Structure 1
Amino acid sequence: MLVYAAEITDSIKRYNMKIAFVSAEVYPFSKVGGLGDVAGALPVELANLGISVNVITPGYGSINRKRFPIQRIPYRFTVKIGGEMIECGVSRWVSAEQPKHCVYFVENEFYFGARGIYNDANGRAYDDNNKRFLLLGKAALEIARMPGERPDIIHCNDNHTAMIPVYLKADPALHHDFKNTKTLLTLHNIAYQGIDSMDHKDLYGVPDDFFRPMAALEWWGQINPLKAGIIFADGISTVSPTHAREIMNSEVFSAGMQNIIRSSGKTVYGILNGVDYQEWHPATDRYIAKPYSIETVEEKKYNKIALLNDMGLDQSVVNKPLIGMVSRLVEQKGISLLIESIDRMMTLDIGMIVLGSGEPEYERAMRKFARRYPRRFVVDFGYNNPLAHKIMAGCDMFLMPSRYEPCGITQMAALKYGNVPIVHKTGGLADTVIHWDGQSGNGFVFENYSSDDLIKPVRDAVTVFMNGKEWRRIRLNGMATDFSWKRSAQQYIELYEYTCQVL
C-alpha cells in the first residue's frame, strides 16, 4: 500500500511531542551528502512548529568544536558490541534561537572522536563502519532513555540507524521503557543498505534466528541492516512522492527491497525534502559577488561574470549558455550518461562547470574534457561550498541527469537562484521540475535515460536561452517556487502523530 503523508487525515489532534532524530551526519556539524542537510534543517523547522527534537549523532573528530558551544554533560554509559564493552560519554548543543532543538553527540574517542564520518583521510571507508554504526544505534537508545528525554518517536535515517527498531522489537523486555515509543525509518538512499559479512553476526546482539535464510537480517548469505529496519520499524517514509512509487514498483529503484517493503504490509510515505533558504537564497548569500532577488534578477549577470573570471572561462561565454553541475561523480548521478553526451553538448556553443569528486574513472574523463575544451569546460574536484554557491548564482542552467534521485535538493536550490534545471524525470526531480512547454514550467525534463534524450532538453534550453523574454519567464517561475522545510515539517508532524495513534 502506498499513500503520501499529505493524505493523512487532518482530524488527528495535535499534541506536544518529543522526537529523537538519529542520523550519522548532521549539518553544520558533519556532512557528506543530502542526509546531513536533512538532519540539519528538518529538526529546526519541527522545533519552530512546537515539537521538541533531540538530534543524536556521533561526536566526530572532524567537528569544529571551537565554532560551536558543545558542552559535555555528566552522563556516561556502556554499550556492548559483540564481546566488547564500549564506554561512551555525551555532549550537548542547544540552539540559542530555538531551545526545543537540541543535538546530542555520542562521545567515544576511538570510534568517533579520532575519525571523520565514513572515510579516512585517503577516502577509504573505515573497516569497522559496521561496528561504529551499531554503536550509534545502541548509544542513541541510552541517550533517549535519559531522565526527561523519553521520545514519542525515534526517527531513524538510512542503514546507519536501521537496527534501532530491530533492537526495540527483538527484546521488548530489555527496552520496556520504550513500550510507548514508535519508530519511523526514513529511506534517503535505499541503495546503501549497510551490507555486512555473516562472519560479523556476533556484533549485532540479536538471536541467531535473525540470521537464518530468509530471516530479517539475512540477505543472500550476508547481513542487511536496512532490510531488518524496514521489517521492524513502525513506519516507513522516503524523501519524495515519486520515489515512494518507484521503490514500491521497481526492483531496480528499490535496490532489491521492493518485495521486502510489500511483504512488510506497511505504507510508504513520500515527503519531499525542503531547502534551507537561510543557506540557499540569492538575496542573502554571503558567498556570491552580487546578491539579487526575483525583483532584481537582471543582476544575476554580475555573478556570471565573476564566476567566469574565478574559473578561468572564456569571457565570450558571458553571452552564451553556462551550464553548472554540482554532484558526486558516481553512476547514480548519471555521470556515465553525461560522459557519453558531453562532446555533443559542447557543439551547442556552451560553457560548462562541473564541481564534485567520485569514481577515479569519471574524474579522469572530466580531466580529458577539460583538456579538450580549454576555457569552455572546467572541472573542480572535491566539495567546495563557496564555489557551489557561486555556481548556483553564476550559471544559467543546472544539469542533473541522475539515473535515480530519491529527492535531490540542489535542483530546488537552483530554482531559487534562477538557475534553470535540466533533469531526468525520476524521484524528487520529477516532483519539483516542471517541463517548459512554451507557456508554463520551470525547467527542462527528459524521460528516457539515454544520451539522445538528454541532448534534446539541453538543445531546447539553449534555444530558449536565446529568447531573452521567454528565458526570463522560466527563471522567474523557478524563483517563485517555495520548497521551504516548513511545508515538509508540517507533513512529518502529521506522520508522527499518525504513527503514534494509528500504526
Structure 2
Amino acid sequence: MKVLFAASEAVPFVKSGGLADVIGSLPRALQEQGVEVRIILPKYEEIPMELRQQMKLVREFGVYVGWRNQYCGLQEMEFEGLHYYFIDNEFYFKRTGIYGYGDDAERFVFFSRAICEAIAYMDFEPDIIHCHDWQTGLVPFILRNHYGHLAQYQPLRTVFTIHNLKYQGHFSQELLQDLLGVGDSYFTAEGLEFYGGGSCMKGALLYSDLITTVSESYAEEIKTAFYGENLDGVLRARANELYGILNGLDNDFYDPMNDHRIAFKFRNSLAKKRQNKTALQQELGLPIGADIPMIGLVSRLVEQKGIDLIEHILDELLQMDIQFVLLGTGEWKYEQMFKDAAARYPDKMSAQIRFQEELAHKIYASSDMFLMPSLFEPCGLGQLIAFRYRSVPIVRETGGLKDTVIPYNEYTGEGTGFGFANYNAHELLFAVKRAVECMNEPEVWPKIIGNIAKCDFSWGQAAKKYKQLYLELLPMEEV
C-alpha cells in the first residue's frame, strides 16, 4: 500500500502550527505499520539551508494555473528514513513566512495542481493521496476534473483531513474560476460555491473519497451549526464518509526523562517535578515554594483558546493561593490584560508574552495543573504534552479535550484531569478550585498522576486506524 501525503508544512522543514507536527510524525508511524508513505511539500525559502542543499532535482515541467503555464521543479530527498518531494517555484515560495499573502489562492492552487502533475514523474505510484487542510483541499477536485480521463490517475483514491475547520481557504468565485480554469457550472450550492465566493475546504469535503478529522468528538461537533463553520450541512451529507481519529504525540520529543530543556529530568517522581517548579520560580522571579499550586498556560492568546473566560475570573483566580505562569502571544487586548495582571499580582503571576520552546517545556515540567478552557479544540496538543510531564489538565469538555481528559471521579478514583462542560467562566473557576483542593489532599493527587502515567497517546494508535481506513478504499487484490 502506497500513500502520498500532501501538506503545506511539516517538521523539521517548516512549521507554523500543529499541522507540521502531524505531518512530521504520522508518516513515520504508518511506515512502522507497513504502509509505504512519501510526503510532498512546497519548497519554501523558510526551509533551513542545510536541508535545501540535500534536495535533488527529479524533473522540470509546466503547471497550468488558469491559462498561464508556470514553471515547476520537482525535487526530492531522504531524511531520517522518509522520502520527501518538494514543489519548487521561487515566485510562489521564495518569501518570508509561508502564509498570509494576497495571492495565497494562486500559490496553493498552483501547489495542488503541481502535486497532481508531479505524480507522472515520480518513481512512486501512490494508491492514495492523503491531503491536509485547505491548502491542499482542491487536489481531489483537480484530480477528478483535470486528470480523471488519464489511465494512470483513475485508480487513485483521496483522503482529506480537517485539522481546523475554521480555516477554509475562502476566495472570490471569479478568482478561483480563473485559477482552476473551470466554468460557472462548478460554482453552485452543490459545488464549490460558498456564500458568494468559493471554498477550498468545501471542495475537499465534496470531492474526497474519505474525510477524517483529528478527534472523534470534533467529528461529531462539526456536523452541528455551532461548530460547523457554515459547512455543517455538507458534513452531515457526508457523515458516512467522515471519521474522527485522535492525533498522537511525539513521545521522543516530549520526554521528561531525556529533555535537555528542563532543569531536572524525571518520569513519575513528584519530588523531581517540585524541583523543576522551584527552578522555574527562581527563573521567573516568583516566590519560591514547592507546595504552592502552579497553573501553567502555553497558548495562542485568542478567543478560540478560551482566553475571554479567563478574563472574567482572572482577579478571583489570582486571589487564590496559587501561581499562574503564562507563555504565549496573540491578540493585543489579551496580551495587555495578562501584563497588567502580572503587574498587579507580581507574587502570583508571570506573563511571558512571547514564544520560546525551552520555556514551554519548563512550564509543562513545573506546573501542577495545565489550563485549556477552549471554545473549540479539534484535537489539542497541550493536554497530551501535559500528560507526558505529569501536569494535570483542566479543560473544557470539547473536541479532542473531551476525548483525552477523563474528569476525576472522587468516588471511583478514576480520572486524569478536571473538566467543565459549558462555556462559562464560573464553571472554569469551579474546576480550578476543585483541582487545587485535590492537589492539597496527599492521597488524591498521586492517584491522579498514576492514572495519567497509564495513558498512551503515541502515534502508533492513530496509525493503525488510518491504515484500516486506507484498506477500505483499496480493491481487495491490492491489499
Correspondence for 1:307 among 275, 280, 299: 280
Deviations 1:423-463 (A, max 9, x none): 00001100100111121111001011101110111000111
Percent of pairs with identical residues: 36
1:48 maps to 32
Contact 2:58–2:76 (8 Å) recurs in 1: no
Which stretch of structure 1 is more off in the superposition, 347-356 or 445-454?
347-356
Which stretch of structure 1 is more off in the superposition, 376-385 or 149-158?
376-385
For the pair 1:443 / 2:427, whether they are aligned, the reply is no
Correspondence for 2:241 among 267, 271, 276: 267
- Structure 1 position 173, deviation (Å): 4.3
2:77 maps to 93
Contact 2:327–2:355 (8 Å) recurs in 1: yes
- Structure 1 position 197, deviation (Å): 1.9
Which stretch of structure 1 is more off in the superposition, 63-72 or 152-161?
63-72
For the pair 1:327 / 2:299, whether they are aligned, the reply is yes
Contact 2:137–2:160 (8 Å) recurs in 1: yes
CA distance in 2, matches of 1:326, 1:468: 27
For the pair 1:58 / 2:42, whether they are aligned, the reply is yes
Runs of 5+ consecutive residues of structure 2 not aligned to the other structure: none
CA distance in 2, matches of 1:94, 1:70: 8
> Which residue type is aligned with residue 204 of structure 1?
L
1:216 maps to 191
2:437 maps to 463
| Residues 1:146 and 1:409: Cα distance change in structure 2 (over 3 Å) | same
SS of the equivalent of 1:29 reads coil
> Which residue type is aligned with residue 395 of structure 1?
S
For the pair 1:339 / 2:311, whether they are aligned, the reply is yes
2:357 maps to 385
1:150 maps to 125
2:159 maps to 184
SS of the equivalent of 1:324 reads strand
SS of the equivalent of 1:66 reads helix
SS of the equivalent of 1:73 reads strand
Correspondence for 2:206 among 231, 239, 242: 231
Contact 2:41–2:87 (8 Å) recurs in 1: yes
Contact 2:66–2:181 (8 Å) recurs in 1: no
1:109 maps to 90
CA distance in 2, matches of 1:479, 1:140: 42
CA distance in 2, matches of 1:261, 1:416: 34
> Which residue type is aligned with residue 154 of structure 2?
K
1:122 maps to none
Q: What is the TM-score normalised by the length of structure 2?
A: 0.95
Contact 1:170–1:206 (8 Å) recurs in 2: no
Which stretch of structure 1 is more off in the superposition, 173-182 or 421-430?
173-182
- Structure 1 position 104, deviation (Å): 1.4
Backbone CA RMSD of aligned residues: 1.7
- Structure 1 position 498, deviation (Å): 0.8
- Structure 1 position 210, deviation (Å): 4.6
> Which residue type is aligned with residue 315 of structure 1?
I
Contact 1:134–1:204 (8 Å) recurs in 2: yes
- Structure 1 position 68, deviation (Å): 7.1
For the pair 1:293 / 2:267, whether they are aligned, the reply is yes
- Structure 1 position 288, deviation (Å): 0.8
CA distance in 2, matches of 1:187, 1:464: 37
| Residues 1:264 and 1:245: Cα distance change in structure 2 (over 3 Å) | closer
SS of the equivalent of 1:79 reads strand
For the pair 1:19 / 2:3, whether they are aligned, the reply is yes
- Structure 1 position 69, deviation (Å): 6.2
1:197 maps to 172
Contact 2:214–2:378 (8 Å) recurs in 1: yes
CA distance in 2, matches of 1:440, 1:73: 55
Contact 1:196–1:223 (8 Å) recurs in 2: yes
> Which residue type is aligned with residue 258 of structure 2?
T
Correspondence for 2:325 among 337, 343, 353: 353
CA distance in 1, matches of 2:235, 2:148: 27
Matched residue count: 474
Q: What is the TM-score normalised by the length of structure 1?
A: 0.90
For the pair 1:276 / 2:260, whether they are aligned, the reply is no
For the pair 1:424 / 2:399, whether they are aligned, the reply is no
2:64 maps to 80
1:4 maps to none
SS of the equivalent of 2:443 reads helix
- Structure 1 position 346, deviation (Å): 1.1
- Structure 1 position 103, deviation (Å): 1.6
CA distance in 2, matches of 1:378, 1:40: 32
Deviations 1:171-225 (A, max 9, x none): 3445542111100011110111111123413443142235544141111101111
| Residues 1:436 and 1:229: Cα distance change in structure 2 (over 3 Å) | same
1:245 maps to 220
| Residues 1:387 and 1:421: Cα distance change in structure 2 (over 3 Å) | same
- Structure 1 position 419, deviation (Å): 0.4
